């Protein structure tokens, strides 16, 4: 007699970086292959997976709150499975299972290939008489980090959004002293260039026109004799691909070869994220960033010479242990010198197990000082951003329409330089390109209106 079972429903909720968003798509691919139906809310799901970030303490606190909230749902439906995946799961491991006994599964970033099997294993254990008698359900932890897992041969499950994230590299071989990533994602593992190209061709055939290549230090990619510039130029030439972006590069691997590809390939967007972290050489050294302010500025010159209209963004950490006020002011100077189009700014957050946490206790900076530095940095970087964007009002831009705007009748899209523009338009045109004149800016984003001229490139 064959038992017919209802397909199980799974829900994946993702926090954190683009790599995590891409991992969420990977997990959904594994689950769909394993016979699960993917649903869009935890209320509908038999399996709820929270895909987490560990980069700063705040990211983790937020997730812990969310997980305990989900326990409310589980009280109504005890058969529901709650899994915590990703970097925070890797970092906290078994401790998370102890602290939150209603969590059934923790799984780190190298465990997703076996996700559906692990869930079946959990189900088998739950059905065992011993487990049924116990108060606490069986819990599983999948925390092995792999030297080789690059998820080669596996399909992401993407929505029908017009842009796609393509992971080309996982893990990180750097040891920046503040950063948890190498400990929760393991060493750098690159994916086959041929497979990446095959995936991009497939996406282009299905109508995707914009791809973003992803990796922790994406431009140090190396597979066989494929360097990142070579892969980038091949991806840029795939028929149907109109826009290529990549993130996050390490400044040291911003090479003449890379900027040449950026300058020569029309589909590579005029945009670069260049995480500076600090504008002070002593701090950069103590962060183990392996560049100086001077060499960073040379990279900026290199890129701006090759691609004059490029939009640059950065990441900055304030109040790294031992950072003096004068050293912090060097960071403000760097901001004023480079004039980044956008800056992601953070207060240093100690991460257990990273080298910076072993610095002498007296070097750790009071939170009110850190807060004041952050506020000042934000003011400076927003001021610069506002000036740059105000000077761009009046420009005519190709905009890829990504989604509905906040108000009915409006759509939101991005320019090639990754600036967000809202304008009147029909949501039926999501995925299409429009020629938009930038009419005003809030500082960070633009309002514009579409013009009825045939597009030079990229319109549909
Ligand atoms: N504290 C604060 N910010 C951090 N980042 C990474 N680790 C930490 C930390 N411990 C920031 C860096 C990085 C970005 C993704 O997060 O700026 O580039």
Angle at 53 between CA 51 and CA 58, to 5 degrees: 125
What single string gives the DSSP state of each residue in 220-260?
G-EETTEEHHHHHHHHHTSTT--EEEEE---GGG--HHHHH
Ligand 1 center from residue 317 Cα (angstroms): 6
Give me 291's structure tokens. Answer: 């560049």
340 lines ligand 1 (CB under 6 A): no
The CA 56 to ligand 1 mean position distance, Å, reads 7
Q: Is 346 in the pocket of ligand 1 (CB under 6 A)?
A: yes
What is the set of domains in the chain, with CATH numbers?
A: 9-142 (3.40.50.12160), 163-390 (3.80.30.20), 396-450 (2.40.50.140)
- Closest-CA residue to 221 (of 183, 195, 184, 240): 195
**Which strands form 342-347's sheet, in the order they lie side by side?**
271-273, 311-318, 342-347
Mean pLDDT of 435-448: 98
As a whole number, mean pLDDT of residues 189-216 equals 97
Query: Would you say residue 245 has pLDDT above 80?
Result: yes
Helix (H) or strand (E) run with residue 438 in it: strand 433-441
Calculate how far, in angstroms, residue 172's C-alpha sits from the geometric centre of ligand 1. 14
For residue 460, the model assigns a pLDDT of: 45
Mean pLDDT of all residues belonging to the chain: 95
pLDDT higher than threshold 80 for residue 246: yes
Mean pLDDT value of segment 5-9: 81
pLDDT(456) > 60: no
- With a 6 A CB cut-off, is 19 part of the ligand 1 pocket? no
Which pLDDT does position 389 carry in this prediction? 98
pLDDT higher than 90, residue 161: no
Ligand 1 atom closest to the CA of 178, numbered from 1: 10
Q: Which of 182, 248, 315 to mutate to test the pocket of ligand 1 (most atoms within 8 A of CB)?
A: 315
Q: What is the pTM of this model?
A: 0.95
Mean pLDDT value of segment 79-104: 96
* pLDDT digits 0-9 by tens, 211-238: 999 999 999 999 999 999 999 999 999 9
74 lines ligand 1 (CB under 6 A): no
The token pair at 216 is 């922790």
Asked if residue 248 has a cis previous peptide bond (ω within 30° of 0), the answer is yes
Note the pLDDT of residue 155: 82
The finding on whether 275 has its CB within 6 A of some atom of ligand 1 is yes
> Which runs of consecutive H residues, i.e. helices, occur in 324-458?
325-338, 367-392
Kindly state if the Cβ of 351 falls inside 6 Å of ligand 1: yes
Cβ neighbour number for residue 172 with a 10 Å cutoff: 22
Residue 459 has pLDDT above 60, yes or no: no
pLDDT digits (tens, 9 = 90+) for 404-428: 999 999 999 999 999 999 999 999 9
Residue nearest to atom 7 of ligand 1 (CA): 179
pLDDT computed for residue 1 by the predictor: 46
8 Å CB contact between 52 and 70: no
Worst-scoring range by mean pLDDT, 59-63, 129-133, 181-185, 240-244?
Answer: 129-133
User: Which range (129-138, 219-228, 308-317, 321-330) has the least confidence?
Assistant: 129-138
pLDDT score recorded for residue 14: 97
Q: Looking at ligand 1, which residue's alpha carbon is closest to its atom 18?
A: 315
pLDDT for residue 369: 98
- Which of 75, 73, 80 lies closest to 105, judged by CA? 80
* C-beta of residue 333 within 8 angstroms of C-beta of residue 381: no
- pLDDT per residue over 45-55, tens digit each? 999 999 999 99
């Amino acid at each position: 007699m064959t038992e017919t079972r209802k397909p199980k429903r799974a829900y994946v909720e993702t926090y954190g970086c683009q790599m995590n968003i891409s991992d969420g798509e990977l997990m959904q691919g594994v689950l769909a292959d394993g016979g699960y139906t993917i649903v869009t809310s935890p209320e509908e799901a038999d399996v709820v997976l929270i895909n987490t970030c560990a980069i700063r303490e705040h990211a983790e606190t937020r997730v812990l709150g969310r997980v305990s909230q989900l326990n409310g749902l589980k009280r109504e439906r005890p058969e529901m499975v709650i899994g915590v995946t990703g970097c925070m799961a890797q970092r906290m491991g078994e401790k998370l299972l102890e602290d939150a006994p209603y969590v059934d599964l923790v799984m780190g970033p190298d465990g997703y290939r076996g996700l559906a099997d692990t869930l079946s294993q959990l189900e088998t254990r739950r059905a065992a008489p011993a487990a049924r008698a116990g108060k606490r359900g069986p819990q599983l932890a999948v925390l092995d980090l792999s030297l080789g897992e690059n998820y080669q041969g596996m399909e992401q499950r993407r929505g029908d959004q017009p842009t796609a994230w393509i992971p080309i590299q996982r893990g990180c071989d750097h040891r920046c002293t503040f950063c948890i990533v190498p400990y929760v994602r393991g060493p750098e593992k690159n994916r086959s260039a041929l497979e990446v190209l095959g995936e991009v061709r497939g996406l282009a055939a299905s109508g995707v026109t914009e791809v973003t290549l992803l990796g922790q230090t994406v431009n140090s990619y190396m597979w066989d004799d494929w360097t990142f510039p070579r892969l980038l130029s091949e991806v840029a030439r795939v028929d149907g691909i109109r826009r290529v972006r990549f993130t996050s590069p390490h400044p040291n691997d911003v090479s003449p070869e890379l900027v040449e590809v950026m300058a020569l390939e029309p589909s590579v967007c005029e945009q670069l994220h260049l995480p500076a972290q600090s504008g002070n050489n002593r701090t950069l050294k103590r962060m183990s960033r392996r560049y100086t302010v001077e060499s960073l500025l040379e990279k900026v010159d290199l890129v701006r010479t090759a691609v004059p209209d490029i939009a640059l963004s950065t990441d900055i950490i304030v109040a790294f242990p031992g950072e003096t006020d004068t050293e912090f002011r060097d960071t403000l100077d760097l901001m004023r010198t480079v004039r980044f189009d956008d800056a992601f700014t953070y207060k240093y957050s100690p991460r257990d197990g990273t080298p910076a946490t072993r610095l002498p206790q007296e070097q750790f900076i009071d939170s009110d000082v850190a807060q004041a530095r952050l506020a000042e940095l934000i003011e400076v970087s927003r001021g610069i951003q506002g000036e740059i964007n105000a000077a761009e009002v009046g420009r005519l831009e190709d905009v890829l329409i990504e989604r509905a705007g906040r108000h009915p009748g409006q759509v939101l899209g991005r320019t090639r330089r990754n600036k967000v523009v809202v304008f009147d338009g029909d949501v039926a045109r999501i995925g299409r390109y429009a020629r938009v004149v930038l009419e005003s800016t809030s500082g960070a984003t633009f309002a514009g209106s579409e013009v009825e001229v045939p597009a030079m490139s990229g319109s549909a």
